[in-house]
Structure 1
Amino acid sequence: MKSLVYSGGCLCGQVRFQALGPAHNPHYCSCKLCQRHTGALSAAWVEFPRERVTWSGVPATFRSSDYSSRAFCPRCGSSLGAIDDEPTVALLLGCFDDNDPEVLKPTGHSYSGARPSWCQGDT
């Protein structure tokens, strides 16, 4: 089975990534950290082992919890993902050049109850 290469990056193009598939755990998250990191009520993520993600340009990071740092472009501020202390990089699906493949479709939703009450029935 051939591994897929997923590419993407920030709004200005200074920071790009390539992630060698398969992709793992595509999901939505609505925790307060994800809301503040993205400015959205829910974030769509997909995970890759750290050694399968390469960067062109260096993302800035902010230590957001005791186990993870949020990655973003130091020039345009685009949110890119989370780099966990465990060997996992979670990339935001909105940053992908092509986020249409079915294997990237979120299959779960973490912290869905953290969204405002008027948004509880939405994905």
Structure 2
Amino acid sequence: MPDTHTHIGGCLCGHIRFSATGPALKPHTCSCKMCQRHSGALTTAWVEFPADAVTWTGPGGAPSTYRSSDYSSRAFCPICGSTLGAIDDDPVIALLLGIFDDTSPADLVPTSHSYRAGRPKWWQVSVKGRAP
């Protein structure tokens, strides 16, 4: 059985904070147009948790959301605008790795890359030491 960690993190201003009990699921990077527009980055790094494993602990409670597709809503802080992740209709919360206080645990290391063709050809993405 994979290691179970408690991961914590939050937005830029601290209004939205979370605690997620692992193991983290499906750590990956993504270069789809929706992720690019949501984050402003060419590639995002994500990790999923069952919804019941994530607790919103900051003074703001749960993040604000924007319905971005027929199965998911993008999550963000209503105060500072920080992108936090996605809350899916399935009981899954996908969090962006950049919002974690500590990104070094092994269960957060991306193991795959989605929508590789969505990135500009000059953008190089390496997953677990493999070249694109």
Fold-level similarity (TM above 0.5) = yes
Residue identity over aligned pairs, in percent, reads 64
Partner letter of residue 90 of structure 2? E
Could you tell me which of 57, 63, 85 is aligned with 1:59?
Answer: 63
Query: If the length of structure 2 is used for normalisation, what is the TM-score?
Result: 0.88
Q: 1-side partners of 2:99 and 2:111: how far apart?
A: 18
What is the rounded CA distance, in whole Å, between the counterparts of 1:36 and 1:55 in structure 2? 24
> What secondary structure sits across from 1:117 in the alignment?
coil
Q: CA deviation at 1:122?
A: 3.1
Q: Give unpaired runs (5+ residues) of structure 2.
A: 127-132
Tell me the CA shift for residue 102 of structure 1. Answer: 1.5
Question: What SS does the aligned partner of 2:103 have?
Answer: coil
| Matched residue, 2:30 | 29
- How many residues align? The count is 122
Deviating beyond 4 angstroms after TM superposition, the runs of 4 or more aligned structure 1 residues are none
Taking the aligned partners of 2:78 and 2:16, their CA distance within structure 1 comes to 9
The 3-state SS of whatever aligns with 2:122 is helix
Unaligned runs of 5+ residues in structure 1 are none
Write the distance in 2 (CA, Å) between the matches of 1:58 and 1:14: 10
Partner of 2:21: 20
CA drift of 1:18 comes to 0.5
The residue matched to 1:116 in structure 2 has which SS? coil
